[in-house]
Amino acid sequence: MSSPSKTISDYLSLVKFSHTLFALPFAVIGYFLAITYTDAKFDIKLFAFVILCMVFARTAAMAFNRYIDRKYDEQNSRTVVREIPAGIIKPGNALLFVIILCLLFVATTYFINSLCFYLSPVALLVVLGYSITKRFTALCHLILGIGLSLAPIGAYLAVTGKFSWLPLFFSFAVLFWVSGFDIIYALQDEEFDKSKNLKSIPVWLGKRRALLFSDLLHIISTSFILYAGWYAHFNLWYWIGATLFVSLLIYQHSIVKPTDLSKVNIAFFTTNGIASVLFAVCVLMDLAFR
């Protein structure tokens, strides 16, 4: 029987918990935008609830993805080592884990405000639904982007209970940023996905044009980052963060080629995690020194 620490480690590995860094910084941005641009005051309990919601939703989505794709993962040499096909975690236990996380997410929104509570099933439908979209549309990457784009606007709604354009600009930036880098990641499985009739931009367009499509999405993401800075009259720290963020987008595209995918993991995991954290730190510095 596995020790508790080994079991926890296995489940954290199942959901790639460290990848929570992709969208979590944008949830923090959304929260502090609400604090800065409204009469709301910092509330440590509410802030903790926002972080928990982000973690619960993202973790549930990843665990569900591993559960629903387990048959494909068994047949793909790149993914056969994952916890479910490797027999480390049973499929039923993974599904139970998803259900518990979803219940925790909904329960946490109940303690935030009624709007977040009523919208929680919609949020879960989006973040969980991504995992089945690759069966019928090449635009599945955009569904993933929509799921993670809920982070900034969701955090803002948690504080204010109402929508606003500024956090939505950041949500759009996240949507196109995530969609773009997910296309880069999907390049690795182009041939496998074709053999299983799974859909993706690389399957649809091929590697070269898929990278161009990813370029386009990241240009759109950059446009929203720049427009949000202009719209809200951000100062130097914001523009430093925007410069770092865009520079890292350019870097990840420079190291992935249609004929050389050896650096996809660096582009996908390392570069995007660093970009998200650095940008959030700079935005918070800008808000703090106003």
At residue 110, what are phi and psi to the nearest 5 degrees? -60, -35
What is residue 150's predicted lDDT score, i.e. its pLDDT?
Answer: 94
What is residue 2's predicted lDDT score, i.e. its pLDDT?
Answer: 60
What is residue 18's predicted lDDT score, i.e. its pLDDT?
Answer: 66
Whether this prediction's pTM lies above 0.85 is answered by: yes
SS3 260: strand
Which residue, 146, 175, 151, is CA-closest to 56?
151
The range of the structural domain enclosing residue 127 comes to 4-288
Domain count, the chain: 1
Q: What is the pLDDT of residues 118-130, one digit of tens each?
A: 999 999 999 999 9
Helix (H) or strand (E) holding 151: helix 140-160
What is residue 119's predicted lDDT score, i.e. its pLDDT?
Answer: 95
Q: How many residues does the chain have?
A: 290
Query: Helices then strands (H, E): number in the chain?
Result: 14, 0
Cα dihedral angle (17, 130, 197, 80), rounded to 10 degrees? 20
Using CA atoms, how far apart are residues 70 and 262, in angstroms rounded to an integer?
25
Question: pLDDT below 70 — which residues of the chain?
Answer: 1-2, 17-20
Using CA atoms, how far apart are residues 78 and 75, in angstroms rounded to an integer?
9
Using CA atoms, how far apart are residues 172 and 220, in angstroms rounded to an integer?
9
116 contact partners, CB below 8 Å, separation of at least 6: 53, 109, 154, 157, 158, 161
Q: With contact defined as beta carbons under 8 Å apart, do 251 and 215 qualify?
A: no
What is residue 14's predicted lDDT score, i.e. its pLDDT?
Answer: 77
DSSP 52-94: HHHHHHHHHHHHHHHHHTHHHHHH-TTTTTSTTTTTSS-HHHH
CATH number at residue 11: 1.10.357.140
Tokens (6 digits) for 21:
């860094």
